[in-house]
Amino acid sequence: MSTTNRRTFTKQFKQDVVQQSQHCDTITELAADLGLRPELIYRWRSEL
């Protein structure tokens, strides 16, 4: 059984992603470009 480590993101990175998400066409495309799940970006937008 393999174990995976959770990635941690700095507050600055999250803020940068949220800012980019406000200027992009779709969250899905941005998430794919950054290697993130779209749900994560939506959560960061609501938290920040």
Per-residue pLDDT of the chain (48 residues; tens, 9 = 90+): 678 888 899 999 999 999 999 999 999 999 999 999 999 999 999 998
Q: Note the pLDDT of residue 27.
A: 96
Q: Enumerate residues 6+ apart whose C-beta is below 8 A from 36.
A: 17
Residue 4 is predicted with a pLDDT of: 83
Residues 6+ apart with CB under 8 A from 3: none
Domain range annotation of the chain: 11-47
Which 3 state secondary structure label does DSSP give 28? helix
